[in-house]
Structure 1
């Protein structure tokens, strides 16, 4: 099995706490995983960042590098953005790259790399009119969205955590990317 590089990008939503298991699962499927986090997700996982870097063999990134610094990760063969919060989906669709992972996702979209995203939001935010506009913008740009019946169905308002975030669905979608290469 040939190892391919996955840029796994995550927003601050409760499924991010399962990320070590997701990384291990992706690795068993032949992916060399590089983990990128929104600043808030990095804060949430601050006690685990060294362990996650050891698990992936790459530094966990959440900030842009300084000009002139070398890239710390190998180039991506595919990108998985999950969980992708309401804020992340809207910022990405609008091209607002104020944080690293949205910038990486926007670049990957522009390069026409295989990009898969699984939004994670509640029903109230999913009902906001901009959310559907943003999903359509990303679909039109070639992003495979695992949302609703094809992925994550928004949970009721104000749960402590999503009731069922289907990480296996996201990883299976990556397997399809590998099969098509």
Structure 2
């Protein structure tokens, strides 16, 4: 008799990027590829998503704050993590080892645990031009983080509206052999 194989569990870390409201697209794609999904939102990112819809879609509560000692863990351990959208702030804090939110704490610990991570940056061209951003991407790559994403969007609201965000790229980066 064979034992059923456990479905892998994906944490989706959602930051306060303008496309965050569409995170359901990534959840749907991940579930279609056999993942169970739990969402961890930055405190600001939480305001960019429809929490009720995301929780209904995943079947798990959204995490955005630390749990108290003795509280049960609401999500199983992550087999992989997708950070999408990833903001300038989160990328730079993460690369510097700053762990001042639950999302950053999970990302900083994931490196030490060897958890595969894919990140899809979502920032404008002016932010991407900052030298700290380039240094942060270099450090994250050195840590084994798989970085995707296309060009930064233009610095205007109209530029953001035309910005194409490929949610599925996070899953492609997490496929075996795509390190």
Query: Normalising to structure 2: TM-score of the pair?
Result: 0.89
Query: Which one has a bigger Cα radius of gyration?
Result: 2
Match of 1:88 in 2: 90
Match of 1:138 in 2: 140
**Corresponding residue SS for 2:157:** coil
Match of 2:34 in 1: 30
Shift of 1:169: 1.6
Distance 2:139 2:32 in 1: 33
After the TM superposition, which segments of 4 or more aligned residues of structure 1 sit over 3 Å from their partners? none
Match of 1:75 in 2: 77
Q: Which of 20, 23, 26 is the equivalent residue of 2:24?
A: 20
Match of 2:104 in 1: 102
**Structure (1 or 2) with the greater helix fraction:** 1
Distance 2:53 2:123 in 1: 27
Answering whether residue 8 of structure 2 is matched by residue 4 of structure 1, we say yes
1:24-46 residue CA offsets vs partner (Å, 9 max, x unmatched): 1110110000001111111222x
**Corresponding residue SS for 1:167:** coil
Matches within 5 A, 1:31-180: 31-45=35-49, 48-146=50-148, 151-160=149-158, 161=160, 163-174=163-174, 176-177=175-176
- Can you give the 5+ residue segments of structure 2 that lack an aligned partner in the other structure? none
Aligned length: 172
- Can you give the 5+ residue segments of structure 1 that lack an aligned partner in the other structure? none
Given that residues 91 and 137 in structure 2 are in contact (C-alpha distance below 8 angstroms), is that contact kept between their aligned partners in structure 1? Answer: yes
1:138-180 residue CA offsets vs partner (Å, 9 max, x unmatched): 111111111xxxx221112123536111112222223x14x78
CA RMSD in angstroms comes to 1.7
Shift of 1:57: 1.1
